[in-house]
Amino acid sequence: MKWVVFVVTMAFVTLFFWYQVNKTGNIPKPGQIAPAFDLPDQGGKMHKIDDYRGKWLVLYFYPKDGTPVCTKEACAFRDGFAKIKSAGADIVGISLDDASSHVQFAAKNHIPFSLLSDASGKVSKEYGVLMNLVIFRLAKRYTFLIDPEGHVVKVYDQVQVYAHVNEVLDDLKRFSSR
């Protein structure tokens, strides 16, 4: 009987964590106005979504500074930074890490774009990417392509780190030529 209780308890706990990891809030859909933000970057400068009006914005959310996949993603955006800029877009990364963590992460990896600190998780929740795992919170790995008028044009929810920058570049060229 004890093993049945154990198995049922473990199944419940596993199901609970699976649900927490996989549930998402209201993710903005293409055509919708991108939710506002007002967050500090790694240098303490405040950034608002209105700062990017008039140009394309690649807004990417990631779980944690310094973790292997997040580092690969940031470095892939770093390596594609010049191409994305020449396509008329800015890049901004957001995680729940604090600004001092971003300072170290950006310096160590030579990140040339802003990393914003969403320590409260409010912006991540607005974008529907906040994972609340009871003992800790993270932003899910999502990217939003936002047009110069502030509308979400594309949502990337299945990010393949190495191919992602080229996918974003291709979409930037395709959408900006309309």
Q: Which residue has the higher pLDDT, 17 or 1?
A: 1
Given 34, 70, 111, 153, the catalytic residue: 70
Which stretch of DSSP H or E encloses residue 61?
strand 56-61
- 93: closest CA among 127, 53, 54? 127
Active site residue 70: yes
Give the pLDDT band (50/70/90) at residue 5: low
Tell me the pLDDT of the chain averaged across its residues. Answer: 89
Query: What domains can you pick out in the chain, each with its CATH number?
Result: 2-176 (3.40.30.10)
pLDDT of residue 24: 52
pLDDT of residue 11: 47
Q: Mind listing the pLDDT tens digit for each residue in 39-63?
A: 999 999 999 999 999 999 999 999 9
> Considering the chain, what percentage of its residues have pLDDT values greater than 70?
86
